[in-house]
Amino acid sequence: MTAPLPSSLKRSDFDYRLPAELIAQAPLPARSASRLMLLDAARAEWRDSRMSELPELLEAGDLLVFNDTRVLPARLPARKSTGGRVELLLERALAPRHALVQLRDSKAVRVGMQLATAGGAVRIVARCGEFWEVELPGETVSFFEAHGQVPLPPYIRRSADEQDRARYQSVFARVPGAVAAPTASLHFDQALLERLSAHGIGQACVTLHVGAGTFQPLRTELIDQHAMHSEYYSIGPTTEALIERTRAAGRRVVAVGTTVARALESAAAGPAGRVVAGAGETALFIRPGYRFRVIDALLTNFHLPQSTLLMLVAAFAGRELVLAAYEHAIAERYRFFSYGDAMLVLPHGL
């Protein structure tokens, strides 16, 4: 689907200048009110549209695949015995009362230290690379649900409020475990889903728990030297069967978000070259030169400069075309990042 590009690509090859005022700081009143850029990679062209027009942009028999992960209130304020402030950001649940976390403002933090939180004392158990293992006063998911705060991305320059508890969560969210939203799914409400169904467009779900590593910048200039954080994913037999049926009918599998693209491509990494139901960990880094096996179209938000998510989109549609489309989006005042607008990438044309 995409031609291999030189392995010497640099993170700076995926840079662009974004005016700060285009970073969406809050969701629109209606989920499906966002703008939508239609990027046709086969024709090397784009046009402006709306999310409300998505049913007319797809075809009967196409299959939309969503991520049904549920975002946990993963940000937890804490204090050291000295009174110093520390913030815990959940990376993932481990054993029932253990978790892997990032510690912010973690000077003089050490193994064995107790941190005071609204839900009780949290004990630091071990250092695990960039993360820390901690022991919690209660079961991990219920503890963070009760005492945590919505983990808005760092580029949203405000504190989370009650609106975010609902809107930084897709209407599909059912499996708790993510610490960041699969943002492409945020554009869908029940009315739009019903219109899509009426047009004969199918729907399926996978689970990929987005980790805090999704916001980590590349620390290497050559992108092939970057190592991704692993994330848990799961694909059920119903979704496997729907994908097989869609492909057999010659229709398109449309990944709603880069997380879905990574889950589906990871599940098809075996010798069969097709999606196989199951669960596992994926550290798949999709960048230019990657050969896609499953997805035929991608609906995604606009991503940060030099990010692995932007590199995935560039792998799907071509780096120069994607960056040119981003320049158009900036000129037309699209809204960027998690609460921003969307792009539908159709590499096979309309």
Q: What would the pLDDT profile of 221-263 be if each residue is shown by its tens digit?
A: 999 999 898 999 999 999 999 999 999 999 999 999 999 999 9
- Tens digit of each residue's pLDDT (9 = 90 or more) over 157-213: 999 999 999 999 999 999 999 999 999 999 999 999 999 999 999 999 999 999 877
Together in a domain, 193 and 216: yes
Q: In what order do the strands lie in the sheet with 202-208?
A: 45-50, 35-40, 342-346, 297-301, 253-256, 63-67, 202-208, 231-235, 278-282
- Tens digit of each residue's pLDDT (9 = 90 or more) over 48-84: 999 999 999 999 999 999 999 999 999 999 999 888 9
Together in a domain, 173 and 58: yes
Q: Chain-centre distance of CA 147, in angstroms?
A: 24
Nearest alpha carbon to residue 230 among 328, 85, 92: 92
- What CATH number is given to the structural domain containing 79? 2.40.10.240
Together in a domain, 203 and 313: yes
In total, how many domains does the chain have? 2
Question: So what's the pLDDT on residue 104?
Answer: 83
Q: Is residue 4 part of a domain?
A: no
Together in a domain, 297 and 336: yes
Together in a domain, 141 and 225: no
Q: Give the bridge partners for 45, in sequence order.
A: 40
Q: Is residue 284 part of a domain?
A: yes
Together in a domain, 23 and 54: yes
The Cα 285–Cα 273 span in angstroms is: 17
Question: So what's the pLDDT on residue 347?
Answer: 83
Residues 264 and 275 sit within 8 Å (Cβ to Cβ): yes
Q: Is residue 3 part of a domain?
A: no
Together in a domain, 339 and 213: yes
From 101, 122, 149, give the residue that closes a domain. 149
Place of tokens 């596992």: 280
From 149, 172, 201, give the residue that closes a domain. 149
What's the whole-model pTM score? 0.93
3-state helix, strand and coil shares in percent for the chain, rounded to the nearest 5 = 30, 30, 45
Nearest alpha carbon to residue 89 among 134, 24, 142: 134
pLDDT at position 47 over 70: yes
Within 10 angstroms of residue 348's Cβ, the number of other Cβ atoms is 11
Question: So what's the pLDDT on residue 221?
Answer: 93
Residues 91 and 216 sit within 8 Å (Cβ to Cβ): no
Single-letter code of the amino acid located at 23: I
Written as six digits, the tokens of 31 are 């989920």
Q: Is residue 156 part of a domain?
A: no
Range of the domain at 131: 75-149
The Cα 199–Cα 331 span in angstroms is: 33
pLDDT at position 216 over 80: no
From 101, 126, 149, give the residue that closes a domain. 149
Question: So what's the pLDDT on residue 212?
Answer: 75
Together in a domain, 41 and 19: yes
Q: Is residue 236 part of a domain?
A: yes
3-class secondary structure, 68: coil
